[in-house]
Amino acid sequence: MKTNEYMDKIKVLLVEDEQTLAMIIKDTLEGQNFIIHTANDGIEGLRLFFDLRPDVLVADVMMPRMDGFEMVRRIRQTDKRTPVLFLTARSAINDVVEGFELGANDYLKKPFGMQELIVRIKALAGKAFSFKEEPEQEETRFEIGDYHFNSITQKLSYAGAEEELSHREAEILKRLCENRNQVVNTQNILLDLWGDDSFFNSRSLHVFITKLRHKLSKDGRIRIVNVRGIGYKLIIN
Protein backbone atom coordinates (compact mmCIF):
# COMPACT_ATOMS: atom_id res chain seq x y z
CA MET A 1 0.00 0.00 0.00
CA LYS A 2 1.07 3.57 -0.60
CA THR A 3 1.71 6.00 2.25
CA ASN A 4 -0.77 8.86 2.71
CA GLU A 5 1.70 11.33 1.20
CA TYR A 6 1.74 9.44 -2.10
CA MET A 7 -1.72 7.84 -1.94
CA ASP A 8 -2.99 9.44 -5.14
CA LYS A 9 0.31 9.63 -6.99
CA ILE A 10 1.37 7.07 -9.60
CA LYS A 11 5.08 6.26 -9.58
CA VAL A 12 6.40 5.91 -13.12
CA LEU A 13 9.83 4.88 -14.34
CA LEU A 14 10.45 6.41 -17.79
CA VAL A 15 13.31 4.85 -19.78
CA GLU A 16 13.95 7.07 -22.81
CA ASP A 17 17.21 8.05 -24.51
CA GLU A 18 15.78 11.12 -26.29
CA GLN A 19 16.49 13.67 -23.56
CA THR A 20 14.19 16.38 -24.92
CA LEU A 21 11.24 13.99 -25.12
CA ALA A 22 12.03 12.58 -21.67
CA MET A 23 12.06 16.10 -20.19
CA ILE A 24 8.72 16.99 -21.84
CA ILE A 25 7.08 13.79 -20.57
CA LYS A 26 8.52 14.27 -17.06
CA ASP A 27 7.40 17.91 -16.81
CA THR A 28 3.92 17.14 -18.16
CA LEU A 29 3.27 14.11 -15.96
CA GLU A 30 4.62 15.72 -12.78
CA GLY A 31 2.02 18.44 -13.34
CA GLN A 32 -0.65 15.72 -13.46
CA ASN A 33 0.01 14.12 -10.04
CA PHE A 34 2.61 11.57 -11.15
CA ILE A 35 6.02 10.83 -9.60
CA ILE A 36 8.50 10.40 -12.47
CA HIS A 37 11.95 8.84 -12.41
CA THR A 38 13.98 8.73 -15.62
CA ALA A 39 16.73 6.56 -17.10
CA ASN A 40 18.68 7.06 -20.34
CA ASP A 41 19.02 3.44 -21.48
CA GLY A 42 18.08 -0.14 -20.67
CA ILE A 43 21.00 -0.80 -18.33
CA GLU A 44 20.21 2.21 -16.15
CA GLY A 45 16.49 1.44 -16.46
CA LEU A 46 17.03 -2.13 -15.23
CA ARG A 47 18.92 -0.93 -12.16
CA LEU A 48 16.37 1.78 -11.31
CA PHE A 49 13.43 -0.58 -11.82
CA PHE A 50 14.53 -2.92 -9.05
CA ASP A 51 15.59 0.00 -6.81
CA LEU A 52 12.37 1.97 -7.21
CA ARG A 53 9.70 -0.70 -7.85
CA PRO A 54 7.51 1.68 -9.91
CA ASP A 55 3.76 1.30 -10.42
CA VAL A 56 4.24 1.50 -14.21
CA LEU A 57 7.27 1.17 -16.50
CA VAL A 58 7.26 3.31 -19.66
CA ALA A 59 10.10 2.42 -22.02
CA ASP A 60 11.39 3.31 -25.45
CA VAL A 61 12.23 0.32 -27.64
CA MET A 62 15.33 1.53 -29.49
CA MET A 63 18.02 2.66 -27.03
CA PRO A 64 21.83 2.41 -26.77
CA ARG A 65 23.67 -0.20 -24.66
CA MET A 66 20.49 -2.21 -23.96
CA ASP A 67 17.21 -1.80 -25.85
CA GLY A 68 13.75 -1.82 -24.30
CA PHE A 69 12.96 -5.38 -25.39
CA GLU A 70 16.03 -6.84 -23.64
CA MET A 71 15.40 -4.76 -20.52
CA VAL A 72 11.81 -5.98 -20.22
CA ARG A 73 12.83 -9.57 -20.99
CA ARG A 74 15.15 -9.47 -17.98
CA ILE A 75 12.57 -7.77 -15.75
CA ARG A 76 9.93 -10.37 -16.62
CA GLN A 77 12.22 -13.17 -15.41
CA THR A 78 11.39 -12.13 -11.84
CA ASP A 79 8.55 -9.56 -12.11
CA LYS A 80 5.48 -10.66 -14.05
CA ARG A 81 3.04 -8.05 -12.80
CA THR A 82 4.36 -4.49 -13.08
CA PRO A 83 2.62 -3.00 -16.15
CA VAL A 84 4.88 -2.11 -19.09
CA LEU A 85 4.06 0.46 -21.79
CA PHE A 86 6.39 0.57 -24.80
CA LEU A 87 6.99 3.78 -26.75
CA THR A 88 8.06 2.96 -30.27
CA ALA A 89 8.77 4.62 -33.60
CA ARG A 90 8.63 1.18 -35.19
CA SER A 91 5.48 0.36 -37.09
CA ALA A 92 6.30 -3.18 -38.23
CA ILE A 93 3.78 -5.60 -36.75
CA ASN A 94 6.54 -8.09 -35.86
CA ASP A 95 8.14 -5.54 -33.55
CA VAL A 96 4.83 -4.90 -31.80
CA VAL A 97 4.14 -8.62 -31.46
CA GLU A 98 7.62 -9.15 -30.00
CA GLY A 99 6.90 -6.54 -27.35
CA PHE A 100 3.67 -8.23 -26.26
CA GLU A 101 5.31 -11.66 -26.26
CA LEU A 102 7.99 -10.32 -23.89
CA GLY A 103 5.28 -9.27 -21.45
CA ALA A 104 4.35 -5.70 -22.40
CA ASN A 105 0.81 -4.60 -21.51
CA ASP A 106 0.42 -1.82 -24.07
CA TYR A 107 2.31 0.21 -26.64
CA LEU A 108 2.14 3.75 -27.99
CA LYS A 109 3.49 4.72 -31.40
CA LYS A 110 5.57 7.87 -31.72
CA PRO A 111 4.62 10.65 -32.17
CA PHE A 112 1.86 10.54 -29.56
CA GLY A 113 -0.24 13.02 -27.60
CA MET A 114 0.52 13.59 -23.92
CA GLN A 115 -3.14 13.14 -22.98
CA GLU A 116 -3.19 9.68 -24.57
CA LEU A 117 -0.02 8.75 -22.67
CA ILE A 118 -1.57 9.91 -19.39
CA VAL A 119 -4.79 7.95 -19.99
CA ARG A 120 -2.89 4.75 -20.80
CA ILE A 121 -0.58 5.03 -17.77
CA LYS A 122 -3.57 5.62 -15.48
CA ALA A 123 -5.34 2.58 -16.93
CA LEU A 124 -2.27 0.41 -16.37
CA ALA A 125 -1.71 1.79 -12.88
CA GLY A 126 -5.30 1.03 -11.92
CA LYS A 127 -4.68 -2.58 -12.90
CA ALA A 128 -1.41 -2.60 -10.95
CA PHE A 129 -3.04 -1.29 -7.76
CA SER A 130 -5.81 -3.89 -7.95
CA PHE A 131 -3.13 -6.59 -8.16
CA LYS A 132 -1.44 -5.32 -5.02
CA GLU A 133 -4.53 -4.66 -2.95
CA GLU A 134 -6.79 -7.58 -3.91
CA PRO A 135 -4.59 -10.34 -5.35
CA GLU A 136 -6.93 -13.14 -4.25
CA GLN A 137 -10.26 -11.70 -5.34
CA GLU A 138 -11.54 -12.37 -8.84
CA GLU A 139 -13.93 -9.77 -10.18
CA THR A 140 -17.19 -11.16 -11.54
CA ARG A 141 -19.35 -8.05 -11.98
CA PHE A 142 -18.38 -5.41 -14.50
CA GLU A 143 -19.77 -2.05 -15.55
CA ILE A 144 -19.31 -1.52 -19.28
CA GLY A 145 -20.57 1.97 -19.99
CA ASP A 146 -24.32 1.72 -19.33
CA TYR A 147 -24.22 -2.08 -19.41
CA HIS A 148 -23.79 -4.43 -16.45
CA PHE A 149 -22.17 -7.82 -16.93
CA ASN A 150 -22.07 -10.76 -14.51
CA SER A 151 -19.51 -13.31 -15.67
CA ILE A 152 -20.86 -16.01 -13.31
CA THR A 153 -24.48 -15.90 -14.50
CA GLN A 154 -23.32 -14.87 -18.01
CA LYS A 155 -25.99 -12.14 -17.99
CA LEU A 156 -25.57 -8.81 -19.80
CA SER A 157 -28.08 -6.14 -18.79
CA TYR A 158 -28.99 -2.74 -20.21
CA ALA A 159 -31.73 -0.43 -18.92
CA GLY A 160 -33.25 -3.28 -16.92
CA ALA A 161 -33.34 -5.75 -19.81
CA GLU A 162 -31.21 -8.89 -19.43
CA GLU A 163 -29.64 -11.06 -22.11
CA GLU A 164 -27.88 -14.35 -21.49
CA LEU A 165 -24.55 -14.77 -23.30
CA SER A 166 -23.12 -18.04 -24.51
CA HIS A 167 -20.22 -19.52 -22.54
CA ARG A 168 -17.62 -18.33 -25.05
CA GLU A 169 -19.19 -14.89 -25.41
CA ALA A 170 -19.09 -14.50 -21.62
CA GLU A 171 -15.50 -15.73 -21.33
CA ILE A 172 -14.28 -13.43 -24.11
CA LEU A 173 -16.11 -10.41 -22.64
CA LYS A 174 -14.74 -11.20 -19.17
CA ARG A 175 -11.15 -11.13 -20.50
CA LEU A 176 -11.79 -7.84 -22.30
CA CYS A 177 -13.30 -6.31 -19.13
CA GLU A 178 -10.42 -7.50 -16.94
CA ASN A 179 -7.97 -5.85 -19.35
CA ARG A 180 -9.93 -2.73 -20.27
CA ASN A 181 -7.93 -0.31 -22.45
CA GLN A 182 -5.29 -3.00 -22.99
CA VAL A 183 -4.82 -5.44 -25.83
CA VAL A 184 -5.92 -9.01 -25.07
CA ASN A 185 -3.76 -11.36 -27.11
CA THR A 186 -5.72 -13.39 -29.70
CA GLN A 187 -3.51 -16.44 -29.25
CA ASN A 188 -4.10 -16.51 -25.48
CA ILE A 189 -7.89 -16.40 -25.96
CA LEU A 190 -7.77 -19.17 -28.57
CA LEU A 191 -5.59 -21.44 -26.46
CA ASP A 192 -7.72 -20.85 -23.34
CA LEU A 193 -11.16 -21.28 -24.94
CA TRP A 194 -10.61 -23.38 -28.07
CA GLY A 195 -7.50 -25.34 -27.15
CA ASP A 196 -5.54 -24.33 -30.25
CA ASP A 197 -4.88 -21.19 -32.31
CA SER A 198 -5.71 -22.47 -35.79
CA PHE A 199 -6.88 -20.12 -38.54
CA PHE A 200 -10.37 -21.64 -38.39
CA ASN A 201 -10.65 -20.93 -34.66
CA SER A 202 -9.32 -17.42 -35.22
CA ARG A 203 -12.17 -16.77 -37.66
CA SER A 204 -14.61 -18.23 -35.12
CA LEU A 205 -13.28 -15.81 -32.47
CA HIS A 206 -13.83 -12.92 -34.88
CA VAL A 207 -17.48 -13.99 -35.26
CA PHE A 208 -17.92 -13.94 -31.45
CA ILE A 209 -16.31 -10.47 -31.28
CA THR A 210 -18.76 -9.26 -33.95
CA LYS A 211 -21.67 -10.65 -31.88
CA LEU A 212 -20.40 -8.89 -28.75
CA ARG A 213 -20.06 -5.59 -30.63
CA HIS A 214 -23.69 -5.90 -31.69
CA LYS A 215 -24.86 -6.75 -28.16
CA LEU A 216 -23.00 -3.72 -26.75
CA SER A 217 -24.12 -1.35 -29.51
CA LYS A 218 -26.81 0.45 -27.48
CA ASP A 219 -24.06 2.50 -25.79
CA GLY A 220 -22.14 4.37 -28.49
CA ARG A 221 -19.16 4.98 -26.19
CA ILE A 222 -18.20 1.30 -26.21
CA ARG A 223 -15.79 -0.08 -28.80
CA ILE A 224 -14.02 -3.41 -29.22
CA VAL A 225 -11.00 -2.55 -31.32
CA ASN A 226 -9.09 -5.05 -33.45
CA VAL A 227 -5.33 -4.49 -33.14
CA ARG A 228 -4.35 -6.27 -36.33
CA GLY A 229 -2.18 -9.31 -35.85
CA ILE A 230 -2.19 -8.99 -32.05
CA GLY A 231 -5.61 -9.06 -30.43
CA TYR A 232 -8.61 -7.04 -29.24
CA LYS A 233 -9.07 -4.11 -26.90
CA LEU A 234 -12.19 -2.91 -25.04
CA ILE A 235 -12.40 0.89 -24.99
CA ILE A 236 -15.07 3.06 -23.35
CA ASN A 237 -14.86 6.73 -24.35
Whether residues 119 and 154 fall in one domain: no
**Which of 133, 168, 190 represents a domain boundary (last residue)?**
133
Q: How far apart are CA 209 and CA 204, in angstroms?
A: 9
Res 20 pLDDT > 50 = yes
Model pTM score: 0.53
> Sign of the C-alpha dihedral, residues 78, 72, 236, 172?
negative
In this predicted model, what pLDDT tens digit does every residue of 211-230 receive, in sequence order? 999 999 999 999 999 988 88
Whether residues 126 and 145 fall in one domain: no
Whether residues 155 and 112 fall in one domain: no
Whether residues 100 and 21 fall in one domain: yes
| CATH number of the domain residue 227 falls in | 1.10.10.10
Mean pLDDT of the chain: 85
Domain count, the chain: 2
pLDDT at 36: 95
Distance in angstroms between the alpha carbons of the first and the last residue of the chain: 29
pLDDT top residue among 134 and 107: 107
**Which of 133, 154, 175 represents a domain boundary (last residue)?**
133
In this predicted model, what pLDDT tens digit does every residue of 86-115 receive, in sequence order? 888 765 556 677 778 878 888 888 888 888
pLDDT at 162: 93
Whether residues 62 and 150 fall in one domain: no
**Which of 108, 133, 158 represents a domain boundary (last residue)?**
133
Res 9 pLDDT > 90 = no
Give the closest residue to 235 by CA, choosing from 155, 179, 175. 179
Q: For residue 136, what pLDDT band results from cuts at 50, 70 and 90?
A: very low
Whether residues 125 and 145 fall in one domain: no
Res 39 pLDDT > 60 = yes
Res 4 pLDDT > 70 = no
pLDDT at 121: 92
Whether residues 84 and 30 fall in one domain: yes
Q: How far apart are CA 132 and CA 189, in angstroms?
A: 25
Whether residues 129 and 147 fall in one domain: no
Whether residues 129 and 41 fall in one domain: yes
Whether residues 199 and 97 fall in one domain: no
- The residue range of the domain holding 215 is 141-236
Res 1 pLDDT > 70 = no
In the predicted model, what is the mean pLDDT of residues 174-199?
A: 87
Whether residues 123 and 15 fall in one domain: yes
pLDDT top residue among 24 and 109: 24
| CATH number of the domain residue 126 falls in | 3.40.50.2300
pLDDT at 134: 44
Whether residues 113 and 42 fall in one domain: yes
In the predicted model, what is the mean pLDDT of residues 144-151?
A: 94
Q: How far apart are CA 167 and CA 206, in angstroms?
A: 15
Is-contact 208 168, C-beta < 8 A? yes
